[in-house]
Chain A
Amino acid sequence: MRKVGTLLGTLLILVWCLLPVAWIISLSFKSQTAITNGSPGFFPSGGDGAGWQNYKDVLDNEQFRRAIFNSIGISLIATLLSVIVATLAAYAIARLEFRGKKFVLTMALAIAMFPVVSLVGPLFDMWRTFGLYDTWPGLIIPYMSFTLPLAIWTLSAFFREIPWELEQAAQVDGATPWQAFRKVIVPLAAPGVFTAAILTFFFAWNDFVFGISLTSTESARPIPAALSFFVGADPFNRPASLLAAGAVVSTIPIIIIVLIFQRKIVAGLTSGAVKG
């Protein structure tokens, strides 16, 4: 009885999570003509299939290619910088006693709650003054600010669990401080750093508000913004199947990351958010 329930539940979860994904994949194989003429139904019906044409069109589209390039570049740089800055802060929070610790934590919490939309107006105004409007740094900076809280929490939670005594023990055993750090602490801290990096990357990859507000050309426009501005050959309606192909392409990196790191992400999400 219990087993059947669990099995049913499992199936339900799989359907819930994967049905819309299957749908968008299926949609991406409907031909653009079928979409214009109307082609209801989950699967492309007879003659409505487009093969890989939509994917070819999307990847042939210079704007979309630029958007992928921007998104990957911006997200990676933001992730790298954010994780470095967060590691420093999280180390201090987990290991050191200093005044203002509470302030940092409270501020991180406050920023995690910040309504992003209330910032874009003044930020747009600032960025155009500083010449950061429609540039990579113009997006990297806000992405860092908004991922730091999560990264700091996740990392400080991980760092607290590290038995730092081992480092001293290694030094007693004759290792240099650098060796002790590299051989003992780094392997223990790495999973936490990885988790923080992945969550930061997800945030940056997902962002829409900054993407549409702080860019205006393909020189910095990220994927979500590019998708929302996507124009097909039919200017009246959104080119559903082309967009679906673009959406699938934009989801591939996420799926790869999830496949490789699922265990770590789950651990990071639960420790970072619930515990701290």
Chain B
Amino acid sequence: MTSTYVATAGEREKRGGKKPDLVESDRMRAENSLGRKLVVPAIVVMLIVTAFPMLRALYLSLFTYSLTAPEDREFVGLSNYLTALTDPLFWRDTGVTVLYMLVTVAVELVIGFAFAMVMHRVIFARGVIRTSILIPYGIITVVSGFAWQFAFSYQNGFVNGWLPFLDSDFNWFGESTPAIIAIMISEIWKTTPFMSLLLLAGLAQVSEDMLEAAQVDGATWWQRLWKVILPNMRAAIMVAVLFRALDAYRIFDNIAVMTAGAVNTESISFLTYRQTIEQFQLGIGSALSVLLFLSVLLIAWLIVKLFKVDLAAARQEG
């Protein structure tokens, strides 16, 4: 499938390439300037909220600076980074965050793929399925967090009653492991539809001819899945994984609502939030912000490199 992408992209290049030959350079210059004028507002809005605060975070991260004791502000160089990187809490939270990311993305990929297969096949009630699958996607994450928190509550929930191997007063949020599981379930429930829709788009691009040919050749269902469907969906899968992994790494809402970071369920985003917004430690908080940003970049880079996702190719295809 990737090769198809590239081919179409190539065609487009060619088509686009013809233009300059046909028109005089004045027209080109006008187009160039109009193009820039049209994108300027978008660039400005995107930069106000990202570039400037990020630069400010870089600057503040070199100080000890607490809003509640502003006169104690002091330049400390890189020592905030040193503190963070040598701190067990930072690494514990990073570990927990990576765990959230790996588990939720893996589970979502499997369930999302199954859903996509069903949606691809189904010929009846498409509207109903589409509507219901969009509800978790559209629902507020905070609401999803509440719904699951109450569902797991032993006082007012139903989960303990439905799971025969649990005591009716089992406290899901009293310990780390069950609390993390509960948070993951809320996260998975809310985001699987997104995953399945991305995969559905990928499935639609797998050629039916190839599948039929494989069936004629006597390939089992399993073989067709692994040899035909999945390889042909690689681009879609990788884009979905990239998006969701980066999203999952930034997990915040569910944790804030369900445990507020208690019993070691805190993610790196939540740690950063607590430092800057709750503790008013703008210095170390900014250092954490920068580290969080770098780790997101690192993950994006890893996924792109490891799985050779060709985003540019995927883009041009649109």
Contacts and interface: CB of A to CB of B under 8 A. Distances in A.
Contacts of B90: none
A240 interface: yes
A259 B294 CA distance: 40
A229 B291 CA distance: 29
A30 B139 CA distance: 21
A35 to B, nearest CB: 5
A227 B158 contact: no
Interface in A186-239: 202, 205-206, 208-209, 212-213, 223-224, 227-228, 238
Contacts of A113: 246, 296-297, 300
Nearest to B194: A269
Given A111-B46, A118-B272, A121-B277, A98 B36 contact: yes
B125 interface: yes
A117 interface: yes
A99 B33 CA distance: 9
Given A42-B158, A100-B36, A275 B150 contact: no
Interface string A13-27: 110111011011001
Nearest to A268: B197
A258 to B, nearest CB: 4
Given A111-B46, A243-B146, A250-B140, A92 B39 contact: yes
Given A6-B118, A88-B39, A115 B293 contact: yes
B296 A251 contact: no
B114 interface: yes
Nearest to B114: A9
A156 B53 CA distance: 28
B130 A263 contact: yes
A104 B42 contact: yes
Interface in A96-135: 96-101, 104-105, 107-109, 111, 113-126
Contacts of A262: 127, 130-131, 134
B215 interface: no
Interface in B265-292: 269-270, 272-273, 275-277, 282, 285-286, 288-290, 292
Contacts of B293: 114-115, 118
A13 B54 contact: no
Given A111-B50, A119-B49, A206-B141, A18 B35 contact: no
Interface string A233-273: 00000101001100100110011011100110110011101
A257 B131 CA distance: 10
Interface string B130-143: 11111111111111
A104 B134 contact: no
16 contacts: A92-B39, A111-B50, A116-B250, A116-B252, A118-B290, A122-B54, A122-B56, A123-B53, A124-B276, A141-B49, A160-B318, A243-B150, A244-B150, A266-B134, A270-B204, A271-B318
